[in-house]
A = this chain, B = another copy of it.
């Protein structure tokens, strides 16, 4: 049985590699994502290596092993099912679900998750548009285009949003950028990397950092 902390490290590795289409990650970026110091991440990586959950050699890059990936994807499945439950059944808004799901994702009970899945009607995406891994551990990695890379003056559909920060999501919501919204990048300003958008017909000006968190098709 893995601790909550170990599960969080594995989950972070999947976010940094598989979900970005990359094959490995570095100690510093892992530490940063988890909000710990690199030295702390090094210690944990040694432990995860002895448990055969990551492949890793000193000063090298980190890859997740097949058992490590399997476990991480289960945690991600739980996280996204709980987010969906909170949103669909308990009247949570999309900016409120993440924080509570971070706690709920570590509850250990196979039956709980199977039944939750059934109660929700076997959903395939969470409230932010992120795919929910199947009970067999399959995680759909759709090649995602962020608003920062999307073609200019073309209408796109908002497919998903990074869920990590409540404040960000409230802002996203405020400018009318919901899942399914029609969105167009009118122009990019090189001097400050800002993006001029049209969301469902309404103009908005956002930063590059904002644009990188919005996934479109």
Interface residues of A (CB under 8 A from B): 86, 89-92, 96, 99-100, 103-104, 107-109, 111-112, 115-116, 119
Chain B residues, Cβ within 8 Å of A115: 89-92
Within the assembled complex, what's the spacing in Å between the Cα atoms of A119 and B107? 21
**Nearest B residue (CB) for A116:** B90
A100: contacting residue among B91, B103, B112, CB under 8 A: B112
Chain B residues, Cβ within 8 Å of A92: 111, 115
**In the bound complex, do residue B103 and residue A119 qualify as a contact, i.e. CB atoms below 8 Å apart?**
no
A108: contacting residue among B96, B103, B107, B116, CB under 8 A: B103
**In the bound complex, do residue A107 and residue B100 qualify as a contact, i.e. CB atoms below 8 Å apart?**
yes
Chain B residues, Cβ within 8 Å of A107: 100, 103-104
14 contacts between A and B (CB under 8 A): A86-B112, A89-B115, A89-B119, A90-B111, A90-B115, A90-B116, A90-B119, A92-B111, A96-B111, A100-B109, A103-B107, A103-B108, A104-B104, A104-B107
> Nearest 9 A-B pairs (CB), nearest first?
A90-B115, A100-B109, A103-B107, A100-B112, A91-B115, A104-B107, A89-B119, A90-B119, A103-B108
Within the assembled complex, what's the spacing in Å between the Cα atoms of A109 and B96? 10
